[in-house]
């Protein structure tokens, strides 16, 4: 069968599975809709968290970033996995013990302030919309390449699938769908990596092949021969300070992302929350330790396949023609010698490869079986859809629970709260679909917003809310606004306003670290200069940190 037929078959089977799980998981009560009834086993929640986290960016883009950046791309591996260590140690068990539904819920109750709750709601919605627009566009790109349909049609198909299991099952449906999606995406990532590892090195374990074979040495030599810096040369694209700041921003940003934090409300108890974080880190590590190997294999294959080849030879490659139609792979014979050369100089470079096609094109470049190519497409869709569904629930719960129920109508019935939640998911899907069909020019850049704002907003406020009973409402609001404001100003100025990175050359991707520090300092200073929190809030914080402590009645459900 052709790649297209295999893709239709494998993607079709996986989509039927997602729809079946969504139908079987339909719910009627708010606890099931918002936190899956707090009954998700640790290992299942770990798999769901991993799928929620490993979005289209992890599955499709991360290996591409590492493939192009080499050593410096390791900041994403360190930051995105290190964030789960912070989650397991500092946040997850305490958030679960606090017993609320959402992160804004924690902020509003811990800081006894609806103003703080609303600031947290704004941050959660902005971060989530930033992410979900990119996920929907990723769905469209995968459909466009592998099913030969219009990108916009692909986005609409993705919207329908996500809407079905999100609206019907809420967090319960999303959780069990994400467990299935993790299985799809991890096999889709590992199978081509193992096959290519065996072909290039004779070792079927990508991690060992990457470490102990000569493939990296060969790639280094190819880079040097073409005029690039060695693939493994450190700090070739970023300064040491920027690497440090970016790694920290990714770590604390990961630990502050609302769609990840909300997952730890779905387990039965505090012990389960800790185990969930451990399982999630293990499941994520399987992919993240494979990514550097796949990145180097892919770059080596692409250079050997395309560099210095004649235009006729390249045009004879079916996969190259199809990717060229997507405009993510471009050839331009600038010197009219009939061959295509890859060079580090933009003026003479004749081969333009988009980072996002590295993982998706690798099985085709390596001449793997059509079913493997189709499996990768299904994995990319699973990664995008799993994260999109988690983000949509964050948006829904932020409005339906934190604004409507907690502020506007505290007397709302279970049925009304679930109905509002479903309506908000519908609105969020429509908005996400619009940005997937009509992406703003900065969609590829706004990842910096998500991590920067999460690092500069939620992480400090949650950490201080747990470990410093003296932190009060005034300090939290001042810290939130200052951290958010500074980080947004820097990112917008550098990304879109032509401003130079004036803080020692730190990039927008790393400036969230400084925003986090500003938040911590402002929160602590303002809290010490203003009245302490009410006694019951201080007692609640003490109980929150005590292994045997019980929360006061007003702080629990």
Give one DSSP letter per residue of 332-388, joined into a string.
Answer: --TT-SSEE---S-TTT--EEE-GGGHHHHHHHHTT--HHHHHHHHHHHHHHHHHHH
Residue 446's pLDDT is 58
Least confident of 215-224, 412-421, 477-486, 540-549: 540-549
Closest CA to 329 of 291, 297, 308, 356: 356
Q: Per-residue confidence at 268, pLDDT binned at 50, 70, 90?
A: confident
The alpha carbon dihedral of 26, 31, 35, 36 has a sign of negative
Q: Flag whether pLDDT at 241 surpasses 90.
A: yes
Joined tokens for residue 2: 């052709």
| Token pair listed for 305 | 């396949």
* Distance from the Cα of residue 40 to its chain's centroid: 22
Query: Given the structure tokens 């396949």, which residue do they identify?
Result: 305
- The pLDDT assigned to 130 comes to 73
Predicted pLDDT of residue 547:
59
Asked if residue 471 lies in contact with residue 464, where contact means CB atoms within 8 angstroms, the answer is yes
Among 57, 7, 206, 34, residue whose Cα is nearest residue 509: 57
Contact 492, 511 (CB under 8 A): no
* pLDDT bracket for residue 534 (50, 70, 90): very high
> Per-residue pLDDT tens for 311-356?
888 888 888 888 887 777 888 888 888 888 888 888 888 888 877 7
Six-digit token string for 248: 């920290």
Most confident of 21-35, 130-144, 227-241, 253-267: 227-241
Out of 195-199, 237-241, 447-451, least confident range = 447-451
pLDDT band at 554 (very low <50, low <70, confident <90, very high): very low
| 470 pLDDT above the threshold of 90 | yes
Closest by CA position to 507, among listed 283, 190, 239: 239
Residue identified by tokens 């569904």 is: 389
C-alpha 103/C-alpha 64 separation (Å) is 32
Q: Which percentage of the chain shows pLDDT scores above 70? A: 95
Sign of CA dihedral 273, 275, 276, 280: positive
**218-227 burial: b if 16+ Cβ within 10 Å, else e:** bbbebbeeee
- Res 551: pLDDT: 53
Arithmetic mean of pLDDT, 509-528: 95
Residue 123's pLDDT is: 83
Confidence class for position 464, pLDDT limits 50, 70, 90: very high
Instruction: Write down the pLDDT at residue 487.
Output: 92
| pLDDT greater than 50 at residue 412 | yes
Q: What is the largest CA-CA distance in the chain?
A: 79
Question: pLDDT tens-digit profile of 10-63?
Answer: 988 988 888 888 788 777 777 777 777 788 899 999 998 888 878 777 787 788
Spatial contact of 312 and 83, defined as CB atoms under 8 Å apart: no
From residue 226, alpha-carbon distances to 59, 74, 528 in Å are 28, 23, 59
* pTM of structure: 0.83
Taking residues 141-170, what's their average pLDDT? 75
Q: Is the pLDDT of residue 442 over 50?
A: no
Task: Of 323, 324, 313, 275, give the one whose Cα is nearest residue 49.
Answer: 275
504-520: average pLDDT: 93
What percentage of the chain exceeds 90 in pLDDT?
23
Measured between alpha carbons, how far is residue 156 from residues 57, 161, 251, 298, 416 in Å?
20, 9, 33, 31, 28
Token pair of 513, please?
A: 């670290």
229 burial class (0-12, 13-18, 19+ CB within 10 angstroms)? middle
**Does pLDDT of 397 surpass 70?**
yes
pLDDT of residue 440: 57
Element (H, E) at 112: none
- pLDDT of amino acid 145: 67
Specify the higher pLDDT residue, 205 or 4.
Answer: 205
Using pLDDT thresholds of 50, 70 and 90, give the confidence band for residue 364: confident
In the predicted structure, residue 448 carries a pLDDT above the cut 70? no
**DSSP assigned state of 555:** G
Residue 331, classed as helix, strand or coil, is strand
Options 1.10.4160, 1.25.40, 1.10.3470, 3.30.50; which CATH number does 3-298+369-446 get? 1.10.4160
Locate CATH 1.10.4160 in the chain: 3-298+369-446
- Residue-averaged pLDDT of the chain: 84
* pLDDT reported for residue 47: 92
């Amino acid at each position: 069968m052709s790649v297209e037929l295999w893709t239709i078959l494998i993607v079709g089977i996986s989509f039927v599975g997602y729809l079946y799980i969504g139908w079987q998981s339909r719910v009627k009560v708010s606890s099931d809709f918002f936190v899956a009834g707090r009954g998700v086993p640790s290992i299942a929640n770990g798999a769901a968290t991993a799928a929620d986290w490993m979005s289209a960016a992890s599955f499709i883009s991360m290996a591409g970033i590492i493939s192009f950046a080499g050593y410096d791309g390791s900041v994403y591996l360190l930051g995105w996995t290190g964030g789960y260590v912070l989650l397991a140690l500092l946040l997850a068990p305490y958030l679960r013990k606090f017993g609320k539904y959402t992160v804004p819920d924690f902020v509003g109750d811990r800081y006894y302030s609806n103003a703080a709750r609303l600031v947290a709601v704004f941050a959660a919605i902005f971060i989530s919309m930033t992410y979900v627009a990119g996920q929907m566009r990723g769905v469209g790109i995968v459909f466009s390449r592998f099913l030969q349909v219009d990108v916009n049609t692909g986005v609409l198909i993705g919207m329908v699938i996500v809407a079905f299991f999100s609206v019907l099952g809420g967090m319960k449906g999303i959780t069990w769908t994400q467990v299935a999606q993790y299985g799809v995406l991890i096999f889709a990532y590992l199978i081509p990596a193992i096959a290519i590892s065996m072909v290039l090195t004779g070792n079927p374990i990508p991690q060992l092949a990457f470490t102990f074979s000569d493939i990296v040495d060969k790639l280094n030599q190819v880079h040097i021969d073409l005029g690039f810096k060695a693939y493994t040369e450190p700090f070739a694209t970023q300064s040491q300070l920027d690497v440090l700041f970016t790694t920290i921003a990714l770590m604390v940003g990961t630990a502050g992302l609302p769609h990840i934090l909300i997952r730890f409300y779905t387990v039965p108890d505090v012990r389960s929350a800790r185990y969930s974080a451990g399982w999630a880190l293990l499941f994520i590590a399987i992919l993240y330790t494979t990514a550097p190997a796949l990145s180097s294999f892919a770059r080596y294959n692409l250079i050997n396949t395309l560099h210095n080849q004649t235009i006729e030879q390249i045009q004879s490659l079916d996969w190259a023609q199809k990717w060229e139609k997507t405009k993510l792979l471009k050839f331009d014979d600038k010197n009219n010698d009939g061959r295509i050369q890859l060079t580090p100089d933009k003026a003479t470079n004749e081969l333009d490869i988009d980072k996002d096609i590295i993982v998706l094109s690798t099985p085709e470049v390596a001449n793997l079986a059509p079913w493997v190519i189709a499996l990768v497409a299904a994995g990319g869709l699973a990664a995008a859809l799993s994260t999109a569904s988690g983000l949509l629930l964050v948006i829904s719960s932020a409005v339906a629970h934190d604004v409507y129920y907690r502020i506007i109508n505290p007397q709302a019935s279970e049925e009304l709260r679930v109905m509002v939640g479903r309506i908000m998911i519908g609105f969020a899907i429509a908005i996400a679909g619009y940005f997937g069909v009509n992406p703003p020019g900065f969609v590829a850049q706004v990842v910096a917003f998500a991590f920067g704002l999460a690092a500069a907003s939620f992480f400090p406020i949650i950490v201080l809310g747990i470990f410093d009973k003296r932190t009060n409402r005034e300090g939290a609001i001042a810290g939130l606004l200052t951290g958010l404001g500074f980080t947004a100003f820097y990112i917008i100025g550098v990304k879109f306003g032509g401003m130079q990175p004036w803080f020692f050359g730190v990039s927008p991707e790393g400036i969230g670290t400084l925003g986090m520090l500003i938040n911590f300092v402002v929160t602590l200073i303002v809290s010490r200069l203003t009245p302490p929190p009410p006694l019951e809030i201080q007692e609640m914080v003490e109980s929150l940190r005590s292994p045997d402590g019980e929360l006061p009645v007003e702080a629990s459900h």
